[in-house]
Amino acid sequence: MTPPFTRILRDMPAMTPFVGPETLERRRGATFALRLGANESAFGLSPKARAALTAEIGRTNWYCDPEHWELRSALAAQCDVKPENIVVAEGIDGVLGIVVRAFTEPGDTIVTSAGAYPTFNYHVLGYGGRLDFVPYREDCRNDLEALAARARATGAKLLYLANPDNPTGTFHGRAAIEDLLARMPEGCLLLLDEAYAEFAPAHELPPISGEDPRVIRLRTFSKAHGMAGLRVGYGVATTRLIDAFNRIRMHFGVGRLAQVAALASLGDDDFAAGVVREVARGRTEYEALGRELGLNTIPSLTNFVPFDLATNEKSDRVLARLAERGVFVRKPGIAPLNRFVRITVGTGPERAALAETLRAVLREF
Ligand SMILES: *Cc1c(COP(=O)(O)O)cnc(C)c1O
């Protein structure tokens, strides 16, 4: 007999936030020719990051700096805050886990959009929280007024918003986010997930402050910096929050290679800017492809574009046909978003191959 699992675990719904493309490849017995489903960067690493990784590889017998001091200092300089305002973890996913753990008691209500980034929900359920969902608007944008109203009505401690958003690619400017903060109830913390911040106009991102107790800003090296496989993300918040997070976070979760690569990439502005420009070009191509095929697309400020297949059933079938032809993409699971297929912007040749396959698939309908 093993001991009983915790009540939280026993009551938890079975949930896999992500079925990885590797799992799908094992199931189908073949690899994908085009991997455009996880919003990974198609544009590789900064050459400076690559050099830093090569130089560090002989030191992987040593543990990493558990305080991520050099990386936090560089991030602090970039964000114009103190290193004490920054927590580094295994991607935004890791930071989300720390924040949820710090604030969620069993039964607490947490508010998010229905169909938003699922890893947040996964953590909330893992700590026994209760998720309260606000639907997306019919135009597929997050409903900021409804999110604030629901947080007030439920007395939520945490409110989650991705901006720019995944899976829609939509973006709310600075004034809208400031308005959301003003509408939120006293004592509610906004988790502002800015995984795609680099792809949005910098002047439209709210200024970062280490003094605002209402919000934690979440950023990552997984998207524009092309390091999803290394696992580095960070949060910027008040020192009071960061002090608390330091008491519960994993100290050696972000290894030496991840830390040096992130630091080097941060020092290579031209690289990330080049990725952002190429992604913008790719989005324009995808929009043109949508027009050619009679599919609406959602204007996106990320590294992916949602294509509108009109119904959930059709988008399911298109996704399956694409997979049969070796193309990995994903789609949102909840209305009104589930009629879309979400396609990551690849390299030029990958975009051309995607266009050819999508044309062929749609000819069969
Ligand atoms: C990709 C993505 C993440 C994951 O970030 P990691 O730093 O790789 O954990 C988090 N939030 C959103 C909205 C994303 O799209």
- The burial class, CB within 10 Å (0-12 / 13-18 / 19+), for 161 is buried
- The Cβ of residue 51 has, within 10 Å, a number of other Cβ atoms equal to 14
Is residue 16 predicted with pLDDT exceeding 90? Answer: no
pLDDT band at 15 (very low <50, low <70, confident <90, very high): confident
Q: 253-295: per-residue pLDDT in tens?
A: 999 999 999 999 999 999 999 999 999 999 999 999 999 999 9
Please report the domains of the chain, with CATH numbers, ordered by start residue. 15-44+270-362 (3.90.1150.10), 47-267 (3.40.640.10)
pLDDT computed for residue 14 by the predictor: 80
Which atom of ligand 1 is nearest to 228's Cα?
Answer: 8
- The Cβ of residue 225 has, within 10 Å, a number of other Cβ atoms equal to 26
Pocket of ligand 1 (CB under 6 A): 39, 91-93, 117, 162, 166, 193, 195, 220, 222-223, 228, 233
CA of 354 to the centre of ligand 1 (A): 23
Q: 82-113: per-residue pLDDT in tens?
A: 999 999 999 999 999 999 999 999 999 999 99
Contact 235, 262 (CB under 8 A): no
Is residue 74 predicted with pLDDT exceeding 80? Answer: yes
CA of 128 to the centre of ligand 1 (A): 22
Q: 38-68: per-residue pLDDT in tens?
A: 999 999 999 999 999 999 999 999 999 999 9
CA-nearest of 304, 310, 314, 316 to 354 is 304
Give phi and psi for 162, each to the nearest 5.
-95, 130
Residue whose CB lies within 8 A of the most ligand 1 atoms, among 36, 71, 75, 93, for a mutation test: 93
Residue ID of nearest Cα to ligand 1 atom 15: 166
pLDDT computed for residue 330 by the predictor: 97
Residue whose CB lies within 8 A of the most ligand 1 atoms, among 222, 227, 330, 342, for a mutation test: 222
pLDDT computed for residue 143 by the predictor: 98
pLDDT computed for residue 17 by the predictor: 74
pLDDT computed for residue 28 by the predictor: 93
Mean pLDDT of 232-254: 98
- Global pTM value: 0.97
pLDDT computed for residue 18 by the predictor: 82
